[in-house]
Every structure is written in structure tokens, then in C-alpha cells.
A and B are shown apart, each in its own frame.
Chain A
Amino acid sequence: MTKHLPRVDVVLVGFGWTGAIFAEKLTAAGLDVLALERGPWRDTPSDFATTFAQDELRYYWRHGMFQEASQDTLTFRNNSAQTALPMRRWGSFLPGNGVGGAGVHWNGQTYRFLPSDFVARSHNEERYGPLPADMTVQDYGVTYEELEPHFDYFEKICGICGQAGNVNGETIEGGNPFEGMRSDQYPNPPMRMTFSQDRFAASARALGLNPFPVPSANMSRAYVNPLGLQMAPCTYCGFCEKHGCGNYSKASPQTTIIPVLMRRPNFGLRTNSEVLSVEKTPDGKHATGVTYVDTSGEVWFQPADIVILCAYPLQNTRLLLLSEIGAPYDPRTGEGVVGKNYCYQVMSSATVFFEDEYTNGFVGAGALGMVVDDYNGDNFDHSGLGFIGGGYIACGTTNARPIESHPVPEDVPRWGSAWKKAVRENFLKTTSVGVHGASMAHRSNYLDLDPTYKDVWGRPLLRMTYDFTLNDRRLTEHLTPVAEEIARGMGGAHVKVNARRGSYDSKPYQTTHNTGGTIMGTDPASSVVNRYGQSWDLPNLFVTGAGLFPQNAGYNPTGTVGALAYWSVDAIINQYLPDPGPLVRP
């Protein structure tokens, strides 16, 4: 029997970045908030202390903190003519699990999307004419200007280290000249750069480009955030992404929000508690709460006035489909919304091999880098190019974790003495210029429920149908040569181009930037939630995270995810609570 629990004001499904943001604001507003997290408790001293955090095998290759694929994974195929098969172990992306979610093991690159990214359809059609019929690109329904105060606040919560390029309309030398207008500087100065960034910046400037420091959630100095939580200076240890930070130097829910929350009597957190479905009133017009199962197998019904989905985008999409909320997307008709506009990221790079100089990649940090934005979004003229969007081009020095990072030139075999020698010769002497390309929505890329494979509770797995599109291919063919040109100007002996060709491959790690599936918008016929993240179908159900993105921009998503969360929770507190109901009338 399902056991009924006492009602709470708000139940949060998942407790990573967005869960922590919503919980902090809603408890401060006086509400009784409960977070349900399917993974375990995690924190610095017990789970990634400095005496064992730097373990590449444990945390990356043995998936120490990622979602447990044995219990729940997804199936994948490149197109709907194929049979999707389970991702039996993680490869291309690494969904988080446990308190803090993927916010524990991210790199910390914290960008704002461009103003034009939020109006991608109307902006591009106005400038270049109608988009191809199969490109289901949409506007967000919220603008950069509306989000600006929330970007600013999230950057202050995290203590982002960077160089502003546009504060209140004043252009500042050394920052990003293309960025949307900011109301304030970054709270901390940029990180210190290494040899590779110096060479990249010089080469980019010689080409007339505008390099600036990657906005970093790895601390350039000690910092106390607006909630009174203190972070320590980064030690450039090179174990950010895929690892937790033992030094309290990387912004995460644990270092920036959770300790404050845990002291509040009106906040509760239940770990190892997996939500199975969102429950509705018999007329299907309101959410009544959630059903969840704990690891002892006990099933519980948790009633709540407001339900907020704060899990990873892939999970939020699946939960809506399993709960039969919103019309599932149908790629044949183009109708339906849940699972629509799944997007990813189109990555490529050029590796520079030096002969005499040492790049010492082990002296690194997840967001240590210099970057140019001249080829991102609509910062350049796309006339006649046959694609929209772009990407940043960056030289980061994030790590030299040797199982993962041992680049060799293209003519070297995969194993044997020649491979071994090439690894030794190049291990301390390479760097990379990476293209972080946007991924535009397409009618044929989507998420739905798999007809065959089930999770540990017998529920269908999520099915991903995805391949790179014509827009993606033209984009990467246009931008990768720019990265190569910068790389060739950095003074190395050899440059190897790692182009993005062929179909999307789920095996090699690319990036954990899965977006869409629960997209926001202005019309219930083409979006799952309105511009506040509120369900069009159930006004007391909200959805957060990168699943809201109608398409993915050429940036890391977390900065925009944070801003959207603060924007949405602000609307709940100031508009929904005084007058519960739809915040937008279609």
C-alpha cells in the first residue's frame, strides 16, 4: 500500500542546482519545502575530501558520482528507422546523481546566453528570412533583459570570476564586447592564466578577434557570497570536471546554498527517494503531489500544493511522460510537446603540439581558459552561410588526468611502442583550441518512452532519437577552421584538427549539456511550460533546468539555468502565491 504523508507547501523533485535555488528562495518566503532526491547525501568532507578526491579511476572511469545506469539509463538511436538500444554504461554525457546533482562534478564555466539566443527564431528570421520548415527553433518567451538581474544574482551566489565587457552600456577593455548589457561587474577577478592561454590570446588578437577570460566558478580568491557562505581560492589541481572539489573552491549547491538551507526549520530533504510519478486531481487540472519509492521499497504519496521538477532535463521529460502530463511529441505530425526539441552541443577542436615549450596541463582548473565570442550566436553575419547560431572558441587548461588526456598526433597508432613514445613526448606539451557549438532544434530529434526496455521499477526507459543536423554540420565546418587558424598561430610544432564528422556517437565523452524536452515558450501548442516555467496544463506544476531551452546555444548551460531558476521562483513568490493560477493566459 502506498502510505500517505503529511502535506507540504512545496515538493521539489531532485536536489541539484535548481532544487537548491528554489528551496532557498521559497523557504525564505516562509513556505514549508521538501526536496526528494533519488541519490545519496553528498558533501565535501565525506565524499570528495582532498585526501581522496583526485582519483581519476574512481570518479570518472568507474562513475563514482553519476546516475546509476544499472537502475535507470536511456536508450539511444540516431534516427527513427533504427532500433534504440540501452546506453549500458555512460559515454557521451554523464548525468549526475545525489545531492548537488551534476553541480558537484561540473567544470564551472558560467556564461550568459546572448540576448539574441533568447529570441532565436524571431531574430534570425528578421535578419535572414524564414528558417527551413524542419528547424523547430523557437523563442524562449523570456528576454535577456528580463533575466539580467537573475544572471547577476546567480553570479554573485557562485562568486563567478571574470572580466565584464559591457556594464550598463559602457564597453570595458578585456571583456567580451559581444555580451548582453550587464548591471554589474563579476564579483571576482578572472583566474590566473597559463602559457597556453597567453599564446591563444596573442594568436586570436593577431587575427583581429577579441579574447577574454572564461567566466569561472573556480575561485580566483577567497569569497563570501550573499548568503554568507565562504569559498577558498582554487589551487589549480586539475580535478574539476567529473570530480567534486575538496577545497571548497568550486561553486556547487553544497558550497553556495545548501548549508544555509539545512539550518532552516521549514526545509526538509529526503535522500534515496525516487519519484515515480506526479499525481493529478481526477479532472487532470491540478497536481496533488508525487509518489515516490525509497530504497527499502516502501512507496509513499507526498501531497503538496506546488510540485517543482528540478531533476536533470532527461528525467524531467521522462517524469512528465510517465505521469501523462502534456501531449507527447510526435515527430511524424510535429504535434505534441513533451520530448520535443531535444538538443545537445556540437564540439570540435584543434590540438597544438609544442616541441620545446611545456604546457603542463596538470596545472589547470575546470574553467581556466581564454575564449573568443566573435563566432558565437549572431555575433557575425550569417548571410549565405546556410546555418544559424555559432559557438565560442576557447583554449582551456582543465586537466592532464592521464587515463583521459594523452593526445597524440594523427599518424600515431592506437597501441604499441610507437603509441607509448608519442604519449610521453606530448603529454606535457599539448593544448587544445575547442569549438563549443550551438545545437539547433530539428523536427527529427526528440525524446519519448522506449517500447522495450524498463528501469529497475519496471517503468519504460527514456528513448533518445538524435543525430547532428545540416545546420550543425555547416556550423562546425565554418567554425572549426577558425579554431585551426588560431591554433596555428600559437607557435607549436604541429596542429591536429579534430573535426566533428559523421553521425552523433554516444560512446566518447563530449559534454553533459542535454537540453530540451520540456521547453518553454509562448504557445501551449508548441511548448510544455510558459515563460515562467509553469506547466500549461497544471498551474501548480513548474519545471526547471536546461530542459526549458527550446534549442541549445553555443555556451555551457549552467549560467542560464541558474538565471531561469531565479526568474521562475521570483514569479512564484511575487505573482503565483498572491493569486494561484495560470501566470500566462494563452
Chain B
Amino acid sequence: MTHYTRRQTLRLMLMAGTALAASRVLAAEYGRGAGMPWSPMSGEVPYYGTGADRFFSRDERLAVAAICARLIPSDEDGPGATEADVVTFIDRQMAGFYGRAQHWYMQGPFAEGTSTQGYQSEHPPAMLYRLALAELDDYCRSQRGGAFAELSEEDQDAVLTGLDEGEIAFERVSAKTFFDLVLENTVEGFFADPLYGGNRDMVGWRYVGFPGTRYDYRDFVGHNGAAIPLEPVSLQGRPGWSQP
């Protein structure tokens, strides 16, 4: 039999650090004829952030907003990351459990890995952003004459293409890993429910025609290829419900 003393177990828990802090719920026993248990809001509540939750410094926020604005530009075809306030979404995410990689496996040793092995940085997302953004602005100042946010759109696109295609390398973190993560987070911020701070006024959903979180389309199953014009609804409701 494997014996774990209480002291060993506690030591393991301490070694695990933040990982176990995520388990808020203690063991519980159910059943024995008592029927289905119920308690309010027992599920893991989403980290939606508030106006007070910020991770980025002023300069970091400017740089991220400028990157997002090139990944999903505002143009004649419609709104982009700026109107959707994607930078606020990312800022809040970095301030929460996601930015700390609280639910990711972050024990070492760390190695670069193959292209099929996924995220292998020793830095959680928030710190990856911090280190990469500093190097990005250093690179832009030395090569293009200003911080990333100060460059022309053409120069910004050229720099982002360099990151995407692995032509620009950073010293402390992988520029490509950073680019892929920013792109992923920007798409999230454009299309996630507005409660997380991006997709403001559901501009991302309106732009593509997604009706949001309606949860009942039985009347439309037989659409037979016709458009279904529906105003979007978010988990917070929609403006029409609270305005006269």
C-alpha cells in the first residue's frame, strides 16, 4: 500500500503552490437517499473583470491596443478590435486566472519542444506579454524609429508579419509564441460575450451576424437557406431591454 502521511500531503500541496488554490471546494459526500443536492452558484464563476482590474502599464496597453487594431482593423467594411475594446478584454484576462496560467501545468523543466507539443514557455500569459512587449518596443525603436504604437500602419503590419513568420526574434521569449497568443486572445476579445469587456455592444457579433446567446432556434430549423435576421443577445441581455 502507498502511504501518504498528512505531513507529506501538506508538503505536496505547498509545493504545488497556486495550483491547489484553485480547488476551493472541499470534499463532500452526497447520496445515501438524500436526493440531488443544490446550492446557489456552485459552478466556477467566470472571471469577467471590472474596470478596476488592470494588468498592463500605460505603455503596454497602448502597444496591445495598437497590435489588436492591426490584427482586426477598423475599416470601410466594419468595426474592428478598437470599437470592440479588445484591449480591455485582454487587460482583464491578464489580471485574472488566465494571465497567471492558474489552470495550466506550469511545472518544469521547460524545453522548447517540437511544433506538435504546444505551449512550452515557462512564462504564464501575462508575463509573456510583459517581456515580449518590452522587446517589441525596443525592436521598433531601434529598427523603425519609435515604439510600436507610434509607427505607421504599414510599419506596424511589417513588424507583425515579421513576428508571425519568425523573421523577428526576441531574446527572452519566443516572438512567435507571443504573436500566436495575441492573435488568439484578440479573436477571443472580438467574439466573447461582452461581459468580459470586449465585443463591446456586441459589435463583433453584429458584424458577422451571430445572434448570440438566444438558446432557442426551434422556429428557424426549417430556414432552408434563407437569412435569419435576429438582433444579438448577450448573457447580460441587450440594450433594448433596459432602454425605453
Chain A interface residues (CB < 8 Å from chain B) = 1-2, 40-43, 45-48, 50-58, 61-64, 68-71, 73, 76-78, 82-83, 85-89, 91, 192-195, 198, 233, 235-239, 246-247, 258-259, 261-265, 267-273, 276-277, 279, 291, 293-299, 301, 354, 356-360, 362-363, 400, 402-403, 406, 414-417, 419-421, 423-424, 427-428, 452-454, 456-458, 503-507
CA gap between A456 and B5 in the complex, in Å: 15
Complex: how many Å from CA A507 to CA B118?
Answer: 5
B6 lies within 8 A of A78 (CB):
no
Residues on B with C-beta less than 8 A from A301 are 1
Q: Which of A57, A86, A238, A420 contacts B217 (CB 8 A)?
A: A238
Contact A236 B217 (CB under 8 A): yes
Q: Is the CB of A402 within 8 A of B23?
A: no
Instruction: Assess the B77–A424 pair: CB atoms within 8 A.
Output: yes
* A-B residue pair count with CB separations less than 8 angstroms: 306
Cross-chain contact of A262 among B30, B191, B215 (Cβ < 8 A): B30
User: Is A453 within 8 A of B42, CB to CB?
Assistant: no
The residue of chain B having its C-beta at the shortest distance from the C-beta of A87 within the complex is B118
Per a CB cutoff under 8 Å, which of B1, B22, B120, B225 touches A359? B225
> B4–A70 contact, CB under 8 A?
no
Known interface pairs A2-B3, A417-B75; 16 further A-B residue pairs with C-beta atoms within 8 A, sorted by A's residue number: A46-B39, A55-B213, A56-B191, A61-B188, A237-B216, A259-B35, A262-B34, A262-B37, A270-B28, A271-B25, A297-B9, A298-B6, A402-B204, A420-B77, A456-B12, A507-B116
Cβ–Cβ contact B26 & A57, under 8 A? no
- Most A CB atoms within 10 A — which of B31, B47, B102? B31
Query: In chain B, what residue has the closest Cβ to A56?
Result: B192
Q: Kindly name the residue among A61, A279, A356 whose own CB sees the greatest number of chain B CB atoms within 10 A.
A: A61
Contact of A63 among B15, B103, B157, B224 (CB under 8 A): B103
Closest to A235 in B: B216
What range describes how many residues of B lie at the interface? Answer: 35 or more
Whether B225 pairs with A195 at a CB distance below 8 angstroms is yes
B4 near A291 with CB under 8 A, answer: yes
B207 near A424 with CB under 8 A, answer yes
A-contact 0/1 string along B1-40, CB 8 Å cutoff: 1111110011011011011101101111111111111111
CB distance from A266 to the nearest CB of B (A): 8
- Inter-chain contacts of A298 with B (CB < 8 A): 6, 9, 27
Return the contact of B193 from the options A1, A40, A56, A400 (Cβ within 8 A): A56
Q: Which residue of A lies closest to B67 (CB)?
A: A415
Measured CA separation A414–B104 after assembly (Å): 26
Which of A54, A265, A279, A420 is the most central at the interface, judged by chain B CB atoms within 10 Å of its CB?
A: A420
Determine the chain A residues whose CB is within 8 A of the CB of B28 once the complex forms: 41, 270-272
B38/A262 in contact, CB under 8 A = no
B211 interfacial by beta-carbon distance below 8 Å: yes
For residue B105, CB closer than 8 A to chain A, the reply is yes
Minimum CB–CB distance for A45 against chain B, Å: 6
Specify which chain A residues have a CB less than 8 angstroms from the CB of B43 in the assembled complex: 42, 46-48, 64
Q: Is the CB of B209 within 8 A of A427?
A: yes
Residue in B42, B101, B186, B208 whose beta carbon sits within 8 Å of that of A402 in the complex: B208
Are B221 and A363 interface neighbours, CB within 8 A? yes
Of B15, B22, B183, which contacts A68 at CB under 8 A?
Answer: B22
B217 touches A70 (CB 8 A): no
Q: Is B73 close to A, CB under 8 A?
A: yes
Whether A194 contacts B223 by the Cβ 8 Å rule is yes
Q: Is the CB of B164 within 8 A of A51?
A: no
Q: Is the CB of A363 within 8 A of B10?
A: no
Q: Please give me the 10 A-B residue pairs with the lowest Cβ-Cβ distance, nearest first.
A: A294-B27, A357-B225, A47-B43, A265-B33, A427-B208, A402-B191, A70-B19, A235-B216, A54-B213, A57-B192
Which residues of the other chain, A, contact B242 by a CB distance below 8 angstroms? none
In the assembled complex, 16 residue pairs joining A and B whose CB atoms fall closer than 8 Å, in A order, are A40-B42, A55-B46, A57-B192, A68-B19, A70-B102, A88-B118, A89-B118, A91-B118, A261-B31, A268-B29, A270-B29, A299-B6, A403-B192, A420-B73, A428-B227, A456-B20
Whether the pair A237, B215 counts as a contact (CB closer than 8 A) is yes
B107 at interface by CB-CB < 8 Å: yes
Give chain A residues whose Cβ lies under 8 Å from the Cβ of B26: 272, 294-296
Q: Are B104's CB and A69's CB within 8 A?
A: yes
Measured CA separation A402–B15 after assembly (Å): 39
- The chain B residue sitting closest to A272, CB to CB, is B27
| B95-121 interface code vs A (CB 8 A; 1 in, 0 out) | 001100111111101010111111110
Give the shortest distance, in Å, between B216 (CB) and chain A (any CB): 4
Q: Which residues of B192-226 have CB atoms within 8 Å of chain A's CB atoms?
A: 192-193, 196, 204-205, 207-211, 213-218, 220-226
B228: contacting residue among A63, A77, A354, A363, CB under 8 A: A363
